[in-house]
């Protein structure tokens, strides 16, 4: 590594300083997101206030607004992390699968366990208001990738991939939400999963029959 002498590479030095600054900013930003996520998971999203986050990163409140437009944007940042991690979890499930049906089963289990183990994260992704765009041109790659990962496991069983993936996704999401809010019996968790898997596989045959 080279060290700057007095007058050599003044331009280089300012660049390096700017870089250090940018790094500092980026670090601080991810500290904000991380703090939001931790507090949300421990005490719920209501406990994630600007004041609390400011206290956590040891800066004043206005600093947060130099990183995010508003509180919703912080939630959105957490959500993007979530989509990224969900995508990883789904692709891991597929990679370990022994066949198409097993991939479907593993992905389903991975999705549900992801959501139920990190309810606040999932809430940021699907329930809380964010400025994220979906099913559009400007959709962020993390979101697209997660959707694609789901599509991969559904495709072998269904002709119309997009429709099937959207519907399958809806089922998983509905199961998560209703279970999380205590509207369906936790005890029947596994039975519902088997039911879904069977339905997806069976729909394959019926769509062959009826066009």
Binding window for its own copies (CB under 8 A); candidates: 58-66, 87-95, 97-105, 157-165: 157-165
In the stretch 109-128, what mask flags binding to its own copies with x, by CB under 8 A?
A: -----------------xx-
162 binds, among DNA, its own copies, none (CB under 5 to 8 A by kind): its own copies
What is the per-residue binding string for DNA in 137-176, x denoting contact by CB under 7 A?
----------------------------------------
In what helix (H) or strand (E) does residue 132 lie, and over which residues does it extend? none
Q: HSE (CB half, 13 Å, CA atoms) of 111?
A: 25
Of 60-68, 79-87, 132-140, 187-195, the window that binds DNA (rule: CB under 7 A) is 60-68
Q: Which stretch binds its own copies (CB under 8 A): 23-31, 59-67, 93-101, 156-164?
A: 156-164
Q: How far is the CB of 59 from its own copies (least distance, A)?
A: 28
Residue 53 CA to its chain's centroid (Å): 21
Does residue 84 belong to the site contacting its own copies (CB under 8 A)? no
Q: How far is the CB of 148 from its own copies (least distance, A)?
A: 14
Among 52, 140, 180, 192, binds DNA (CB under 7 A): 52
Long-range contacts of 3-9, Cβ-Cβ distance < 8 Å, separation of 24 or more: none
Total residues in contact with its own copies, by rule CB under 8 A? 42
Residue 72 binds to DNA (criterion: CB under 7 A): yes
Q: Where are the alpha helices (DSSP H) in the chain?
A: 10-43, 50-57, 61-64, 71-95, 100-117, 119-126, 141-154, 161-180, 189-210
Dihedral, CA atoms, 106, 183, 44, 26, nearest 10 degrees? 40
131 binds DNA (CB under 7 A): no
Contact 197, 105 (CB under 8 A): yes
Given candidates 53, 64, 75, 175, which one binds its own copies under the rule CB under 8 A? Answer: 175
Q: Helix 10-43 crosses helix 71-95 at what angle (to 10 degrees)?
A: 80
- Dihedral Cα 111, 115, 117, 121, nearest 10 deg: 130
Q: Which is nearer to DNA, 54 or 109 (CB)?
A: 54
Question: Buried (b) or exposed (e) across 4-14, using 16+ Cβ within 10 A?
Answer: eeeeeeeeeee
**Residues within the interface to DNA (CB under 7 A):** 14, 17, 21, 48-52, 59-63, 65-66, 70-72
């Amino acid at each position: 590594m080279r060290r700057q002498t007095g007058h050599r590479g003044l331009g280089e030095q300012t660049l390096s300083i700017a870089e250090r600054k940018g790094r500092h900013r980026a670090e601080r930003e991810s500290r904000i997101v991380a703090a939001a996520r931790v507090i949300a998971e421990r005490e719920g999203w209501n406990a994630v206030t600007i004041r609390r986050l400011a206290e956590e990163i040891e800066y004043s409140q206005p600093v947060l607004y130099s990183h995010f437009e508003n509180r919703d944007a912080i939630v959105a940042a957490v959500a993007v992390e979530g989509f990224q991690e969900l995508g990883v979890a789904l692709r891991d499930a597929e990679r370990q699968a022994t066949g198409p049906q097993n991939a479907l089963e593993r992905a389903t289990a991975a999705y549900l366990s992801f959501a139920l183990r990190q309810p606040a994260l999932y809430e940021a992704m699907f329930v809380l208001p964010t400025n994220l765009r979906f099913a559009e041109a400007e959709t962020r790659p993390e979101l697209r990738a997660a959707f694609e990962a789901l599509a991969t496991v559904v495709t072998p069983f269904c002709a119309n991939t997009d429709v099937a993936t959207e519907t399958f996704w809806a089922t998983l999401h509905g199961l998560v939400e209703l279970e999380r809010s205590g509207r369906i019996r936790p005890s029947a968790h596994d039975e519902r999963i088997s039911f879904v898997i069977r339905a997806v596989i069976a729909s394959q045959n019926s769509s062959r029959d009826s066009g």
